[in-house]
Chain A
């Protein structure tokens, strides 16, 4: 019982239709209960036409279970899962912008970057952008380590996660999409056509 009411990190994976506004419907499930979303990522899934949300929250199991059921209730949601960190493989990507002169002048910085497996993704005369992927503690650590050495910008992506035990669901999804292909998203095609289209 204690574990059910204790807060911990949960990764919620939601398989959905690709629909305008669904992001908001999912987001308000959390904000309504004043739950802070630690990270949110939307992406296609392995099945074309099916979308995937990955959401991280710090909450108790009891609460997460109820929230996930509310999410699953949304019309365009196919399935929602929640997992603790040991049930998933996950990564976050971080970018660090550092002043070039600091790097080139201080050997220590170079060593740091190598130690953390950082990769240079842009090299300019005045700054260099490095990238690492890993768990939050890892990307955080490098940020802290770089702070004294001219770190001018830091950004981290949302978590993406793979559920270790998901092969069963994948088959179902594939079969599902084959039987009933997804519909196309309809966007507002008039937005850019102001004056040309209508008059009152």
Chain B
């Protein structure tokens, strides 16, 4: 008996020598995990339940940059902006209770737009869970439908393993937000830290479906036999870092390609096969011709209802090939003739390999003709207005002329968003940051701040309406304190424009609560130490935009645009894409 105990003791001793451990607190382990994952920027806001982590952060200041936002929602939107321009995981800290619930909108936004985030929330002590303790909220259950994964930690020893899992889940497969809720005791607790191991596998999780050659072959045959193929692409191309593969794919077979709002910038605007935007406020040609093509090839997009319009009248004549990394997207909204499961970074080259080189200039000419019609009836007046009032389109045109399509454009939600996405020029990928699926007003300003941290060498322009800016205007404080250089362009039509447009078109101009008043934005900006100007007359516009872009530091430019301005073309809700209206 005695010898056995001795042996056991010796064994334990040997083990300890073999794996040198050091004591860390849970909080330190969280920050070590961030460093090991290559995190350089954290957006957050402290509070009682996350204080131990913030206390530890005090000593990590040289390794981790923490951006103090003015509201947790601003923090998570900044994390999203950061993730979208950098291609890395956005990291957000918030405290328990209200801090955590303020993340919910951002989580929902990131979930529907597949943005990789790791959010860490503080939680009350484990022994207080379920007692309605101060600032206790059941954030795990609240966020369950809006996270790819979430987990509550009550013991510090779990931290390294769980955080490794969190980062892996956020960025792998179809990316998404992950929330880790850490009880305060686990943050304080010291434990034997055995280092951090990156996670690259979870036994019950399949980030990518297996590519089936059969479907690749079937898709190739369909495309090669197609007379009028149309490629429609979404953010999957960007998330899969498959921009090059995508370009080769469409170029080899000479196919026209149209984008969803989140696919924007994956293909340069000037590419001869880029035929424009899909959906409700998309371009004339790609919408109408969706219902005339013979093969529709969807790449990394999910047939959102804003893209498809009426489903029973959507591409019924076409054979549909759907490429997606998420098997649950195939046949979800539009039945696929061939579903090509897999990461498009891998599936696109396989398809390209089998494609015949084709010249489809006749088919591209049909798009050009539609584009001409749209230009004559719609675009021309928008970009070069003859009326007295300034249009949102001409503002974007002048920005394009000044930036040459090299800026990151971040938008909020509404008319200005549609106009920016329609008309902004892009040369490189990850240049368009917008809230697509959720349509979150208030997204623009904090996302622009995050976008700049994610791409510090690039010019970042936040285009925001007079409604959206007032939803997150407190983030001027973040700009003030960090000195981050963001160009803020408020397109002010003195209305909640998109809702007003619908009320005009569908509710007999019954303008119900859409005439929103604004403060003096230039003065507000000035109070935060941000330079700015307001343009009310066209003659000052070009100079004002030049001044904004050449100014060192953040700048706010408010442009007074036409009040009762409508975004056209438009596919009215409940209509087919081919019923798109130019006026």
Binding site for B on A (CB under 8 A): 16-17, 20-21, 24-25, 28, 32, 65-66, 69-70, 72-73, 75-78, 176, 180, 182, 186, 188-191, 193-194, 197-198, 200
Contact status B127-A197, CB under 8 Å: yes
Residue of B nearest to A196 (CB): B127
How distant is the Cα of A189 from the Cα of B189 in the complex, in angstroms? 14
Task: State which residues 138-166 of B face A: CB under 8 Å.
Answer: 140-141, 144-145, 148-152, 154-155, 158
How distant is the Cα of A194 from the Cα of B205 in the complex, in angstroms? 36
CB distance from B107 to the nearest CB of A (A): 14
CB distance from B531 to the nearest CB of A (A): 45
- Choice from B169, B185, B202, B327 contacting A198 with Cβ under 8 Å: B185
B539 close to A (CB within 8 Å)? no
Knowing A73-B326, A75-B202 touch, does A189 contact B154 (C-beta < 8 A)? yes
B328 close to A (CB within 8 Å)? yes
Contact status A198-B332, CB under 8 Å: no
How distant is the Cα of A28 from the Cα of B146 in the complex, in angstroms? 11
With A176-B203, A194-B127, A200-B125 given, can you name 13 additional A-B contacts, CB distance below 8 Å? A17-B203, A65-B331, A69-B327, A73-B326, A76-B205, A182-B203, A186-B155, A186-B158, A190-B127, A190-B185, A193-B127, A197-B185, A198-B125
Contacting residues, chain A, for B145 (C-beta < 8 A): 28, 32
Subset of 11 A-B contacts with CB under 8 Å: A17-B203, A28-B145, A66-B328, A73-B328, A76-B205, A78-B204, A176-B203, A180-B203, A189-B126, A191-B126, A198-B127
Binding site for A on B (CB under 8 A): 125-127, 129-130, 140-141, 144-145, 148-152, 154-155, 158, 169, 185, 202-205, 326-328, 331-332
Contact status A69-B328, CB under 8 Å: yes
Contacting residues, chain A, for B204 (C-beta < 8 A): 16-17, 75-78
Contacting residues, chain A, for B125 (C-beta < 8 A): 190, 197-198, 200
- Choice from B155, B205, B328, B331 contacting A70 with Cβ under 8 Å: B328
Contact status B144-A28, CB under 8 Å: yes
Contacting residues, chain A, for B185 (C-beta < 8 A): 190, 197-198
CB distance from B306 to the nearest CB of A (A): 20
How distant is the Cα of A78 from the Cα of B205 in the complex, in angstroms? 7
Residue of A nearest to B174 (CB): A73
Contact status A25-B127, CB under 8 Å: no
Contact status A189-B155, CB under 8 Å: yes
Residue of B nearest to A187 (CB): B154
- Choice from A24, A69, A75, A200 contacting B169 with Cβ under 8 Å: A75
How distant is the Cα of A65 from the Cα of B144 in the complex, in angstroms? 22
How distant is the Cα of A65 from the Cα of B330 in the complex, in angstroms? 11
Residue of B nearest to A76 (CB): B204
Residue of B nearest to A27 (CB): B144
Contacting residues, chain A, for B149 (C-beta < 8 A): 75
Contacting residues, chain A, for B154 (C-beta < 8 A): 186, 188-190
Contacting residues, chain B, for A182 (C-beta < 8 A): 203
CB distance from B474 to the nearest CB of A (A): 30
Residue of A nearest to B154 (CB): A188
How distant is the Cα of A188 from the Cα of B153 in the complex, in angstroms? 9
Residue of B nearest to A62 (CB): B331
Question: Which are the 4 A-B pairs with shortest beta-carbon distances?
Answer: A69-B328, A190-B126, A190-B127, A180-B203
CB distance from B150 to the nearest CB of A (A): 8
Contacting residues, chain A, for B148 (C-beta < 8 A): 75
Contacting residues, chain B, for A16 (C-beta < 8 A): 204
How distant is the Cα of A21 from the Cα of B144 in the complex, in angstroms? 9
CB distance from B329 to the nearest CB of A (A): 9
Contacting residues, chain B, for A73 (C-beta < 8 A): 326-328
Residue of A nearest to B125 (CB): A198
Contacting residues, chain B, for A186 (C-beta < 8 A): 154-155, 158
CB distance from A94 to the nearest CB of B (A): 32
Contact status A25-B144, CB under 8 Å: yes
Most-contacted residue by chain A among B152, B185, B205, B327 (CB, 10 A) = B205
Contacting residues, chain A, for B327 (C-beta < 8 A): 69, 72-73
- Choice from B328, B331, B332 contacting A72 with Cβ under 8 Å: B328
Contact status A66-B332, CB under 8 Å: yes
How distant is the Cα of A189 from the Cα of B130 in the complex, in angstroms? 14
Knowing A17-B204, A25-B144 touch, does A188 contact B126 (C-beta < 8 A)? yes
CB distance from A55 to the nearest CB of B (A): 17
How distant is the Cα of A190 from the Cα of B327 in the complex, in angstroms? 40
Contact status A75-B127, CB under 8 Å: no
CB distance from B114 to the nearest CB of A (A): 12
CB distance from A63 to the nearest CB of B (A): 11
Most-contacted residue by chain A among B126, B158, B204, B331 (CB, 10 A) = B204
Residue of B nearest to A198 (CB): B125
How distant is the Cα of A191 from the Cα of B148 in the complex, in angstroms? 27
Contacting residues, chain B, for A69 (C-beta < 8 A): 327-328, 332
Contact status B141-A24, CB under 8 Å: yes
CB distance from A184 to the nearest CB of B (A): 11
How distant is the Cα of A189 from the Cα of B126 in the complex, in angstroms? 8
Contacting residues, chain A, for B150 (C-beta < 8 A): 21
CB distance from A174 to the nearest CB of B (A): 14
Contacting residues, chain A, for B130 (C-beta < 8 A): 191
How distant is the Cα of A171 from the Cα of B230 in the complex, in angstroms? 44
Knowing A69-B327, A69-B328 touch, does A191 contact B127 (C-beta < 8 A)? yes
How distant is the Cα of A102 from the Cα of B282 in the complex, in angstroms? 75
Contacting residues, chain A, for B151 (C-beta < 8 A): 21
Contact status A24-B144, CB under 8 Å: yes
Contacting residues, chain B, for A17 (C-beta < 8 A): 203-204
- Choice from A25, A75, A189 contacting B205 with Cβ under 8 Å: A75
Most-contacted residue by chain A among B126, B150, B326 (CB, 10 A) = B126
Contacting residues, chain B, for A76 (C-beta < 8 A): 204-205
Contacting residues, chain B, for A189 (C-beta < 8 A): 126, 154-155
Contacting residues, chain B, for A194 (C-beta < 8 A): 127
How distant is the Cα of A180 from the Cα of B150 in the complex, in angstroms? 22
Contact status A191-B144, CB under 8 Å: no
How distant is the Cα of A191 from the Cα of B125 in the complex, in angstroms? 10
Contact status A188-B129, CB under 8 Å: yes
CB distance from A165 to the nearest CB of B (A): 22
How distant is the Cα of A65 from the Cα of B339 in the complex, in angstroms? 15
Contacting residues, chain B, for A190 (C-beta < 8 A): 125-127, 154, 185
CB distance from A2 to the nearest CB of B (A): 16
Contacting residues, chain B, for A32 (C-beta < 8 A): 145
Most-contacted residue by chain B among A75, A77, A193, A197 (CB, 10 A) = A75
Contacting residues, chain B, for A176 (C-beta < 8 A): 203
Residue of A nearest to B162 (CB): A186
Residue of A nearest to B145 (CB): A28
Contacting residues, chain A, for B129 (C-beta < 8 A): 188, 191
Residue of A nearest to B185 (CB): A198
How distant is the Cα of A77 from the Cα of B328 in the complex, in angstroms? 14
Contacting residues, chain A, for B127 (C-beta < 8 A): 190-191, 193-194, 197-198
Contacting residues, chain A, for B126 (C-beta < 8 A): 188-191
Most-contacted residue by chain A among B145, B185, B326 (CB, 10 A) = B145
Contacting residues, chain A, for B332 (C-beta < 8 A): 66, 69
How distant is the Cα of A20 from the Cα of B144 in the complex, in angstroms? 12
